[in-house]
Structure 1
Amino acid sequence: MIKGYKSTKTIAIVGAGGGIGFSTAKIFAKQGFNVALISRDMHKLSQQIEALELKENVILPLFGNVAKPSTLKPAFTHIIERFERLDILHYNVANIYSTNILEETPESLMEDYPVYAPALQASVLLAIESLRTTKGAILVTGGAIAYTPNPDYGALSIGKAAIANLTRSLSHELSNHGIYTGLLSIQSHVSPKFHLHHPDNIAQQLWNMYADRAVFEVVL
């Protein structure tokens, strides 16, 4: 239960590794948000927080392993206890490795799958009460590979397809509660070498989607 309704908005980033997660934290913090970063690698998370160099905001590192969605509950409980509100859930997870679909087994697909739709659903259910109160938003980092699967990235293709499907279902349902749901589908490798798919540009697109709350999906 939310205790109050503090004025400073809060974003929780699930899958807060380097790249998109770091850039998203940076841009939303500069917009005045408190930032909760959820990751399984606390050492790397601490290094990122030092690199952010943002003193005017609270940057909160929290443990959560999306491969085991049940580990996310303590993180979200801590967020609500600390900030008393949650305005944005950003789900930014992908397990990227190259294995041809014919080399995948039922067991390997099942091992990889929890980080996609199951962990997203777990995160949404943990955040939903606060998002209803704040009329907040869910931002999901997706991939165009969901629509044009690559057989050499079979598990990733399946996982991102599940993410896209679930995000669209959430959008239909949560719009009735005043919650904006947006999917940013990235068509290529994320790299600081290219402007379009630079993490900073991707983070800017996420901010634009949140600020406008106008379209469900942006393909980048």
Structure 2
Amino acid sequence: MSSVAIVGAGPGLGAAVARRFGREGFGVGLVARDRGRLDAIVDGLTAGGITARGCTADVRRPAELAAALRELADALGTVEVLQYSPVPHRDFMRPVLDTGHRDLVGPIEFSVYGPVAAVQQVLPGMRRLGRGTILFVNGGSAAVPHPERAGTSIAFAAESAYGRLLHDRLAGEGIHVAQLVIPGAITPGHARKDPDALARTLWALHRDRHGFRHYADDLES
């Protein structure tokens, strides 16, 4: 069995993606900081017949994140699909003129060091399989920088560049890299931004394997 690893798993999008990929036969590995939340998601998945496991890690601690992904692969099988989708901290979203260089440390750790550490951990396994998918999930400021959200705008731009470089370099190895930009908030009941709708979109990105950047909805003005 191969597995999907969801970094930044929560009860909304993370759980929905876990259910979608789990129904397709993947073992499901979940990474988040909150053990109680992870256990609740794993219990729900297990009750639905899905093989799942959670590991705690802080994405701003690269060695900790890599260790969690290694543990999940050992327990569930090689990570064939990696989704990096933690929700940024609110204090990353300062106005640009109020953002000093120290204010960018957290966003860069979160949206650059974390993804790089995660990819470097799972990529050797994907290469051994001869296939894989890496999914980056970002907010709208990844595509249109927002002057009131400088930290995420800058860090998401760097994450996007990293993802695009991976997309171009790894396509010939059967490893597809894609980014899903979700403008605004994830919204239960919304036709395109409901967690289950987004999970269907992410499954389609894994299945159809074309293009790098995709949008869950129209960009907000």
When the two structures are superposed, what TM-score results if normalisation uses the length of structure 1? 0.91
Give the aligned partner of residue 144 of structure 1.
140
1:200 maps to a residue whose letter is D
For the pair 1:173 / 2:169, whether they are aligned, the reply is: yes
Give the aligned partner of residue 35 of structure 2.
42
For the pair 1:31 / 2:24, whether they are aligned, the reply is: yes
Give the aligned partner of residue 94 of structure 1.
87
- Asked if structure 1 preserves the Cα contact closer than 8 Å seen for 2:13 and 2:199, the reply is yes
Percent identity of paired positions between Structure 1 and Structure 2: 26
CA distance in 1, matches of 2:193, 2:89: 16
- Give 1:31 shift: 1.3
After superposition, give the CA deviation of every residue in 1:39-83 in whole Å (9 maximum; x if it has no partner): 111111111222335443311111111011121122122123223
- Give 1:170 shift: 0.6
- Asked if structure 2 preserves the Cα contact closer than 8 Å seen for 1:10 and 1:85, the reply is yes
Give the aligned partner of residue 122 of structure 2.
127
CA distance in 2, matches of 1:183, 1:37: 19
Give the aligned partner of residue 80 of structure 1.
73
Give the aligned partner of residue 117 of structure 1.
112
- Give 1:92 shift: 0.7
Farther-moved stretch of structure 1 (80-89 vs 180-189): 80-89
Tell me the number of residue pairs that the alignment of Structure 1 and Structure 2 aligns.
213
Where in structure 2 are there 5+ consecutive unaligned residues? 217-221
Match of 1:181, SS?
A: strand
Alpha carbons of structure 1 residues 190 and 84: separation in structure 2 relative to 1, 3 Å: closer
Where in structure 1 are there 5+ consecutive unaligned residues? 1-7
- Give 1:96 shift: 4.2
- Asked if structure 2 preserves the Cα contact closer than 8 Å seen for 1:46 and 1:61, the reply is yes
- Asked if structure 2 preserves the Cα contact closer than 8 Å seen for 1:94 and 1:156, the reply is no
Match of 1:201 among 197, 200, 210: 197
